[in-house]
Amino acid sequence: MAFQKTRAVASTPKGADTRARILAAAARLFAVHGFTGTSFAMIGAAGGVATGSIVHCFPDKAALSAAVYRLALDRLAASVTRAIGRYPADVPGTIDALVSACFAWAAACPDDPVLIGRLAEHAAVQDTAAQNVAVQEMDGPQTRLEPLLEAWAQPLIRAGLVQPLTPAQLYAVIIAPALCAAAAQLDVVDGPAAPVIGWKTVLVTAALAAVQASSPKSRPPRIASRKARLVSAKLAGPVPPDQTRLL
C-alpha cells in the first residue's frame, strides 16, 4: 500500500518535484545527523515541504531512509557501469576507470559515502523484526557491485587476461580500497602541511598486480618435427646422404 501511495504522489510533475526535494533534503540531513538525529520536521524545513507531504510520500522514516540509501547506491552503480563500459576488454584501462569512478562519485555526491555508512551502521544495530526486514533490503555497495564486476571479469578470465578471482575478491582489491580512499579524501583539509598522496596511482597499481593475469612465460622454441625439417632441408638444397638420417 505504501508503495502504491508513493507512486501515485510521484506520478504528477508537482508530486515528482516534491518527492525529489524530500529525498535531497533527507540525504543531506541523514549524512550530517544520522538516522536518529533527523526528523521529518527537519527534512520539511530543509526541503521547503510540509511534514504532511513527507508522510504522504513515505509512511515512516525507515522507508524514507531506504529510498535515500538506494538512490545513493544507484549513483555509485551507474558510475561503475559507465567505467566498465568504457574499456571492457582493456584490463588496465578498466581498473583505472573503476578507481577513477569511485573518486568521481564521491566528489560529485559528497554526502553519499557518509550517508551509506551512517544508514548501514544504524540498520545493522536494529533488533525489531520490522527493522530486520529493512536491513535485509538495504544491500550494501558490495552486494550491488559484485554482479557488475563478475559480468566484466568472466569473459576476460576465460581469455586468460584476468586472474580467476571471485566477485568478492574483485570487489576487495578494486572497489573497496578506492571507496575508502575517496571517502577519506573528503575529510582532508587543504593546507601547507597536508600530505599529498597519489591514491589513484597507488590503488590502480595494486589492483592491477592482483587482477591482471601474468603474461605467459616465454617458451623455448619447439623442436621442429621430422617432416618439417625434411621440408626445410629440401628447400635449402641437396643434403649429403650421410646427413639425411639426422633430419
110-147 pLDDT, tens digit each: 999 988 888 887 777 665 544 544 444 567 899 999 99
Of 42, 98, 43, 45, the closest CA to residue 68 belongs to 43
- Of the candidates 174, 175, 153, the one whose C-alpha atom is nearest the C-alpha of residue 164 is 153
Cell 569511485 belongs to residue:
102
pTM: 0.74
Domains assigned to the chain: 1-59 (1.10.10), 69-188+195-215 (1.10.357.10)
Task: Give tens-digit pLDDT for 218-244.
Answer: 344 444 445 444 434 443 445 444 444
**Predicted confidence (pLDDT) per residue in 32-73, tens digit:** 998 999 999 999 999 999 999 999 999 999 999 999 999 999
Task: Please tell me the predicted confidence (pLDDT) of residue 220.
Answer: 42
Q: What is the pLDDT of residue 189?
A: 47
